[in-house]
Amino acid sequence: MTKYLLLLLLPLMTIGQEDFDQVLFEQYDRYKENSIETRRFKHKDIQPLIEGLGEENGFSVTSLGVSIQGRSISMISVGTGEADVLLWSQMHGDESTATMAMFDIFNYLKENRGILEGLKVHFIPMLNPDGAELFQRRNAIGIDINRDALRLQSPESRILKAARDSLEADYGFNLHDQSRYYNAEKTAKPATLSFLAPAFNDEKDMSEKRGDAMKLIAMMNEVVQKHAEGQVGRYSDAFEPRAFGDNMQKWGTRTILIESGGHPDDREKQFIRKLNYLSILTAIKGISDQSFKAKSTKAYWGIPRNDRKLFDLKIENLAFPYLGATYTVDLGIIYDEIENNNHSDFYLVGKIVDIGDLSTHYGYETLSAAGFTFKTGETHPTILSNFEEFKELDIPQLLRDGYTSVSISDLPPEIKFVTAPINVIDISKIQIPRNNEMPRSPINFGKNPTFLLLKNEQVAYAVVNGFVYRIDGPVNGVKNGLVE
């Protein structure tokens, strides 16, 4: 054995599984690819990284073809073993968490290829570059690639099928993002990662290979639980005959689905990216040394199912007046991402998505409104001349005085939101209300939630664009107010 090979194998020879994953987690920042730190990156942003890998010893880059709009789709391979592992990400263009993790994994493998003993691992980082360009799910002609495994109408679909067939891949990792509003069933914890060993028929039959996928997931789940306890879900195994994951399993590839969901204070999914890195490298090591075989399928079935009962903000026991009566309800509020024109950044719009008894639901943040008095915020009577005047306002004092919005007569059209906890009314867009209309409820399904909560006749909380601003609180996580 050469000195070089000995150095490569050293991590495997000296570190057991428990220590291995702990070292992975602790040393992550050493390998993180710092040129990508937000979800909205494009094909041109990762191409230099892919081309650079082609110059790395032990890595090879293969051009698999091009997307509908002519963007290249590449596969990066590393390792020399006989067992082939195929990982593909971003078949949905707006699901980029695992793509970021792949580049972290590449950096790790540059120094630690001993983990690949017996394996050759193949990565397709961005299967849908046209969708990534617009940060949208579907490809350039509107096809969901993950529903095109049978007809293969899209070139991206044909590329993935051809890659799987040419490799006769032994293992496949189908890497996606899911909504941040999934939770682990019957808990308030988000399904930060969800796993699935897809079914290969309507009957959801078991096979040895599907059982292997379940055992690999059991191994990954053990590791993730150390850093996100209770935050793993089991994705539905309802058979979808058009989907790639289900068909990969059917075609004989042991297939694992990983869905990246939500985590508190991680909208750009940087911690979730780290969990992808950790779980995928753990699985690769488990395949290499076959240690995953010791896990049980029972542990897989013990993972709680995905549920969808999570809001960004849940307000409990809110009492508000309407037409002479008082109603006490819970509110479920989410924050929609509104993108800029080049799909590189976003602001948030709060929206009420449920009203009523939400005792079976949860929130990333929960506020009890019991004992507080509801008050509709007002618009300050002074109309500001320009945005520079807005910058001079004492916003906390305005909120204390009962104002949740201000008006500006000459607002530049490029300003779509403000970073202060107050909404802005663009005078040029005001519509004169029609007479004799039934007054609207101050709380409306599907509408933006902005109001005040008073204690002893003093404003204690301002809910502005669905964010909670604590008038005298030290920390206030309001991302933005709206321009209306």
Instruction: Please identify, among 286, 307, 328, the residue that sits at the C-terminal boundary of a domain.
Output: 307
260 and 368 share one domain: no
Number of folded domains that form the chain: 2
Q: Torsions phi, psi of 461, nearest 5?
A: -135, 145
321 and 374 share one domain: yes
303 and 363 share one domain: no
267 and 389 share one domain: no
Instruction: Please identify, among 283, 307, 331, the residue that sits at the C-terminal boundary of a domain.
Output: 307
303 and 320 share one domain: no
Q: Over the Cα atoms of the chain, what is R_g?
A: 26
Pair of tokens at residue 253: 């590839």
Instruction: Please identify, among 248, 278, 307, the residue that sits at the C-terminal boundary of a domain.
Output: 307
177 and 214 share one domain: yes
**Mean pLDDT for back-to-back runs of 10 residues, the chain (484 residues):** 39 60 97 98 98 97 98 98 98 98 98 96 98 98 98 98 98 98 98 98 98 98 98 98 98 98 97 98 98 98 98 98 96 97 96 98 98 96 94 95 95 93 88 66 93 96 96 84 93
SS3 state at 48: helix
Domain range enclosing 334 = 310-482
Angle made by CA atoms 296, 302, 303, in degrees to the nearest 5: 110
Nearest CA among 164, 262, 175, 257 for reference residue 216: 257
Q: Can you give the pLDDT at residue 18?
A: 66
Q: Torsions phi, psi of 362, nearest 5?
A: -140, 170
Nearest CA among 188, 246, 195 for reference residue 224: 195
Could you count the other beta carbons within 10 Å of the beta carbon of residue 56? 14
For residue 263, what is the domain's CATH number? 3.40.630.10
269 and 379 share one domain: no
Query: Tokens 């004992």 correspond to what residue?
Result: 371
Q: Can you give the pLDDT at residue 17?
A: 62
45 and 181 share one domain: yes
Q: Is the dihedral of CA 182, 372, 443, 346 positive or negative?
A: negative
297 and 323 share one domain: no
pTM beyond cutoff 0.75: yes
257 and 164 share one domain: yes
286 and 362 share one domain: no
200 and 316 share one domain: no
